[in-house]
Amino acid sequence: QVQLVESGGGSVQPGGSLRLACAASGSTLDYSGIGWFRQAPAKEREGVSCIRYSDGFTYIAPSVKGRFTVSRDKGKNTVYLQMSSLEPEDTAVYYCATIQICSDRSGLGYGPFETWGQGTQVTVSA
């Protein structure tokens, strides 16, 4: 069974950068890739990025396109979310999760049995 451990959150000023990491352990056979989600207080969870394991395809949500990138280190079985030009609106708890779909057409797709990381807080404020 896969387990996901996130790291890299913190506080940063507007315009700053952070890199989140999602280290996966266990089998990769039951999912198509890793997605990054975020949830701010009183807001719905939002999928922001994903990477598909089969071919390395990456998806970035329009709300963060041009500022966020996603990558994978196969040797470390770790997926990274590089966040730049951060804005106060990016403040949220960020989660990584296994996903079944990662495409331009569908964005991120996941089911009820996905594995989620514990979440990491990102705070952007002056």
Q: How many residues does the chain have?
A: 126
Residue 88, classed as helix, strand or coil, is: helix
Quickly state the pLDDT bin for 26 (edges 50, 70, 90): confident
Q: What is the mean pLDDT of residues 70-95?
A: 96
Q: What is the pLDDT of residues 31-79, one digit of tens each?
A: 889 999 999 999 999 999 999 999 999 999 999 999 999 999 999 999 9
Q: What tokens does 100 get? A: 């079944």
Question: What per-residue confidence (pLDDT) applies to 29?
Answer: 74
Quickly state the pLDDT bin for 8 (edges 50, 70, 90): very high
Q: Which of 101, 114, 123, 122 is nearest to 4 (CA)?
A: 114
10 has a pLDDT exceeding 80: yes
Mean of per-residue pLDDT scores for the chain: 95
27 has a pLDDT exceeding 90: no
- Sequence-separated (6 or more) residues with CB below 8 Å from residue 122: 9, 10, 12, 18, 20, 38, 83, 86, 90, 91, 92, 93, 94
CB 24 within 8 A of CB 82: no
